[in-house]
Chain A
Amino acid sequence: MNLLLAEDDAILAEALSAQLRRAGFEVEHAANGAVAEYLLLKSPFDIAVLDLGLPMVDGLTVLKRLREARRSLPVLVLTALDSLDDRVAGLNAGADDYLTKPFDFPELEARLHALLRRGRPVSGGTELGRLIFDRDSRRATAGGEPLDLSPREAMLLDLLLQERGKVVTKEQISQAWAQDKSEGSGAGSIEVYIHRLRRKLELSGLAIRTVRGLGYLLEVDAGA
């Protein structure tokens, strides 16, 4: 993954570059807006992390020009400004996500991955814990063993995987089920399906946690 990091604070940029490289990104650093603009328009990046308070050309202008040039790469805006107006301005200029400084690196990493996932076509395989799930065929294996999933269970698993580490509300589940008209099979409450899926995931190293009053959350078992 090619990532452009436009950040003028040298200490932050240095640490961030190192962390991003460790996380598996190919990082190019731009210390001012002019360089960032030049690099973004010249080379194909997969994603950009853009500070708004850049010297020479400010981040918002870089972002606008980038969008005018019809570059659709996901851009995560990083800024010390966090008022509602700043956010709205950033999102209006074409930012895909917004993170205020100071931040935890895991948070930044998670958001970058989410942006990259969003940009990709809805297909491909997901690997988590000992589970491998193929979105297209809706087949899953846990520790190499194929799992026998009903269409609704597969859908539930897909949803939980997409939102892993976050709460999936019952509302979201019913909405996903309501949208899906391809399979008429399966009745029963969400709780019943969760219960079945839990049992089938026993060997996957994944656990579905019930969040009181809200929904469910997929997490990797501590022991896995």
Chain B
Amino acid sequence: MIIKARSLHRQLFIWLLAPQVVLWLAAALFTYKLAERYANEAIDASLSQSSRALARQVKPLDNGLFIDFPRAAQDILEADPSDRVLYTVSTPPGHFILGNRNLPPLPANATAQLGEPFFYDGELSDPAAPQPANTRVRVAALLLNYGAADKPDQTLLVQVARSSTNREELARRILLDTVLPLSGLMLLMTMIVWTGIRAGLAPLALLQARVAGRASNDLTPIQLEAAPPEVRSLALAINTLLSAVHHNIGAQKRFISDAAHQLRTPLAGLKSQTELAMQEAREAVAEPALLARLQRVHDSATRSAHLVNQLLSLARAEPESASQQVLLPLDLLRLAQEVTAELVPRALAAGVDLGLEESDGASFTVRGIPFLLREALINLIDNAIRYAGRGASVTVRVSRAATAGQLLLEVEDNGPGLTDAQLEQMFERFVRAAQDGGGCGLGLPIVREIVERHAGRVSLLHAPGSGLIARITLPEG
């Protein structure tokens, strides 16, 4: 079963932040409730005062009530035009005396005490009222006894209502004033948590980058100082695996190398014996058919020897061995001169005119492993000699590429050249341009391995006229 792992970043982020969000919501709710309570208390106090003041104006007169409600008192009650105060004076049950008829009645469950104001919320429902219909109001109801002592059941109900708008506005403002800075804090907190998580997980990211950024052939162990203790065991396990892989690859390469080396002595014996046999056969004037057969055995031995040598070259050019070599600054032109001069006798023996194109004394410095670059050039020249054929000419050239900072090392021949399809395949191992060239099909793959070690490229192009150009492009160093 594969457990799909979730991002550590996300997990930590959620677990660190979720409790804070809950706290934030709770705080907001609490603040709102508190604000509402204080707003109600303030309004209730003023309503209570108003209702008592109004009640004082009501005086019993004979069998009725006399209400002395001067204009000035009304003005005081209705001080705020946007927050109109409404009032009703009635004698229960439902005998309206004065004021506004539309006030919400006492709720059924109200247990109003005599002389004690009772507060409730309600709605004004009069469409003719100056306020829009269904205005929410807060009402204070005061029940008073106004009659003489012998008529204890004569009660008077004073209701004073005030729109809730201001009260709600106040609560909202208190809420906003609290919630805004709280939200800012939340945002800040989120950022701090995020940064903290990133910082905390940075060593993990570093480790990841180190492993991800590796070349596929880099099997050196991960440096453990880079790993925090929590992931050190993971890094250790990876290192163990790496070293096992490294060991395996090394063992395989050693086997190939050992096998090739072990082949060398018997091949040398075979070559020496056939060389000798040919000499003796020639001297003894042996049959031409036998001589030809001996020649073929010798050619075959020579080819096997070449193949073994090339296999070893390839093993040497491969990163595992090449990475241990230090790149040194070297003069590409001098290298070309030396290698070309060295191969001139071989070229002459094959009837090929090998030469170097004169360059303008400029310096052509690259950073490289000298013996590997030599090997690459030897392979290119050797290919040209093999495939261009007797009478052809092969020219080695060092020049500056059109792209700045790039140098070209080219081997051009005027031989038969290759078709486009053949050009494509030439860098594959064991692909040969011709069956009779005596090559083993490892030359160009070796060149490519070497050149890529040097951050360069190798390509085959058609030469003007006929023939091929093998071009190595190297960064100037």
Interface residue ranges, A against B (CB under 8 Å):
9, 11-12, 14-16, 18-19, 22, 53, 80-84, 100-105, 165-167, 169, 209, 211-215, 217, 219
Whether B264 lies near A100 (C-beta < 8 A) is: yes
Whether A169 lies near B353 (C-beta < 8 A) is: no
Shortest Cβ distance from B347 into A: residue: A211
In the complex where A19-B276, A166-B345, A213-B355 touch, is A84 in contact with B371 (Cβ < 8 A)?
A: yes
Summarize A's interface: helix, strand, loop or mixed.
mixed
Shortest Cβ distance from A217 into B: residue: B344
In the complex where A101-B265, A102-B305, A209-B348 touch, is A214 in contact with B275 (Cβ < 8 A)?
A: no
Whether B345 lies near A15 (C-beta < 8 A) is: no
In the complex where A15-B276, A80-B265, A83-B316 touch, is A211 in contact with B341 (Cβ < 8 A)?
A: yes
Summarize B's interface: helix, strand, loop or mixed.
helix
- Please, which residues of chain A bring their CB within 8 A of the CB of B455? none
Option from A53, A82, A105, A167 in Cβ contact (under 8 Å) with B312: A82
Interface residue ranges, B against A (CB under 8 Å):
261-262, 264-273, 275-276, 279, 301, 305, 308-309, 312, 316, 325, 337, 340-342, 344-345, 348, 353-358, 371, 395-396
Bound together, the chains give a CA A16 to CA B262 distance in angstroms of 18
Whether A80 lies near B264 (C-beta < 8 A) is: yes
Bound together, the chains give a CA A102 to CA B312 distance in angstroms of 13
Q: Least Cβ distance of A66 to chain B in Å?
A: 22
7 A-B residue pairs with Cβ-Cβ distance under 8 Å, sorted by A, are A9-B265, A12-B269, A19-B272, A213-B357, A213-B358, A214-B344, A219-B348
In the complex where A213-B356, A214-B340 touch, is A104 in contact with B316 (Cβ < 8 A)?
A: no
- Please, which residues of chain A bring their CB within 8 A of the CB of B325? 84
- Please, which residues of chain B bring their CB within 8 A of the CB of A209? 348
- Please, which residues of chain A bring their CB within 8 A of the CB of B265? 9, 12, 53, 80, 101
Shortest Cβ distance from A219 into B: residue: B348
Whether A102 lies near B348 (C-beta < 8 A) is: no
Bound together, the chains give a CA A217 to CA B273 distance in angstroms of 31
Q: Least Cβ distance of A20 to chain B in Å?
A: 10
Whether A15 lies near B353 (C-beta < 8 A) is: no
Beyond A83-B316, A104-B275, A213-B358, 14 additional contacts (C-beta under 8 Å) are: A12-B268, A15-B276, A19-B276, A82-B312, A84-B325, A101-B265, A102-B301, A166-B341, A166-B345, A167-B341, A211-B344, A212-B357, A217-B345, A217-B348
